Structure 1
Amino acid sequence: MKSQDEINFERITEAINYIHSNFKLQPSLDNIAEKVNLSPFHFQKLFSDWAGTTPKKFLQYISISYAKKLLKEDQVSLFETALETGLSGTGRLHDLFVNIEGMTPGEYKNGGSNLDINYNFANTPFGKIIVASTSKGICHLAFFDDENLALQNIKNKFPLANYTEFITDEQQNATAIFNNDWSNLNQIKLHLKGTEFQLKVWETLLKIPMGKLTTYGNMAKQIQNPNASRAVGTAIGDNPVAFLIPCHRIIQSSGALGGYHWGSNRKTAMLGWEAANCEALV
């Protein structure tokens, strides 16, 4: 006899396959719930617990992935893209892109052609970084070993943006966090592009005090999605702004430090440096 977990897993698998196969029809919550023989209420809760997002959001992610392919690879018009994706018009396509990608479909199609990005290289106690900003705030900060590759990683996101190597006040504010004097730091504005789930995870990371640690499981609980530890881990791994968004303060529930996008040795050094500096302030 199958356990309840096995039954639930099969239902979620069936629901995901159904959404993948029928996203162009934009099925409603009721349609999908009926397919797996659950009430809409119970299906919504079950799906959110297992997938780390709601059925509606999952449908949006599938839809926007297809729309992005049409816009970028097939060079289809916005109106044709909307209809091909199962949306009623360009208005719904616009809302989908703004909510999920943080940009309009036209901006995505143009590859950031109207976006001005200033970037700069700097030294920190943990190695060299590249920091980039727009008029809205810091959009990228990463440690690197190869300067050319570091810049190319940004350009891959917005291949048609205008790039200038220039130090802005916003960048100086960001790199000042690596100084020992944290009593005189200015507010740092961020310009982030991510899904609603990613933004929620990154916002929660910002609430972890310097010198403190938490786990993936605790993060999932804080965003009120206790079974989404794996999805939380993926969102943390996609963090575009190193150190400022402190994904290095996340450890495994066993107490092991776990991996880090920019190297486990760097993570260990960061945590030790923060702990030492916090003790010095006491």
Structure 2
Amino acid sequence: MSRSGLVVASLAVVVFSLFPVFVMLSTAVDEDANAGGRGIIPGGLTLEHFTRVLTETRFPDYLVNSLIVAGVTVVASGLLALFAAVAVARFKFSGRTKILMMILIVQMVPMEALVIPLFLQARNLGLLNSLLGLSVIYIAFSLSFAIWTLRGFVAAVPVELEEAAYLDGCSWWQMFWKVLFPLVAPGLVAVSVFSFILAWNEFIFALTFMADDDMYTAAVGLRTFFTRSGTDWGAVMAASSIITVPVLIFFVAVQSRLSQGLMAGATKG
């Protein structure tokens, strides 16, 4: 394919990918968003939909709930996965291969297939209608991918570096935080992005586990703009635009580390 053909194909992919985002933003600022037969281009610009979502609804509370759940999921799953990855990559113990196989099998099970059994388990444990209970579910789903990914990063660190730290008088914990942790940090960032997106965008479990409106996450909170009398498309698109902001901030904050993690994961395996 010629250079011009590659450019055209690349532009087509970019336009195709960004078109839904354009429609979302244009609808969010369109003063005629709820009028029938509106076009793609806004007839008039307004921030009324954003103002109404942020001041006249409970959507800000839903955003706070999502931030809490996502934050707990990222921190807890990252730490647990890192320690588990060190265990399976550095220590030899009975059943290590079986554990790795179980981790792979867990990733093959669709989340939706576990809604009912996990709902019953959460009910028995008193974790329904709780942000902590929802966070535990997301942590469990994040761990399989995180452990398997971080195992490759830990295994890529030369054992000689750890032995040199021991010779310098470091304890295991000192070696872990001063030597091993900085070297696997890019991989930890990569799995944190996965955990954050999972917790931030997930809908089925958040809807099933939460009985009170106060406990809704942002993804479930979007349902409040769909009523029997009709859909408030201006509010829906404004709320959807607001939801993307924390994701963008998170990506910008970890962008450099994420690039290092992806490159290292591709080359070190």
Shorter-chain TM-score category? under 0.3
Which is bigger in relative contact order (C-alpha 8 A, separation at least 6)? Answer: 2
Q: Going by fraction, where is strand more abundant, 1 or 2?
A: 1
In terms of Rg, which structure is larger? Answer: 2
Q: Going by fraction, where is helix more abundant, 1 or 2?
A: 2
TM-score w.r.t. the length of structure 2 is 0.25
TM-score w.r.t. the length of structure 1 is 0.24
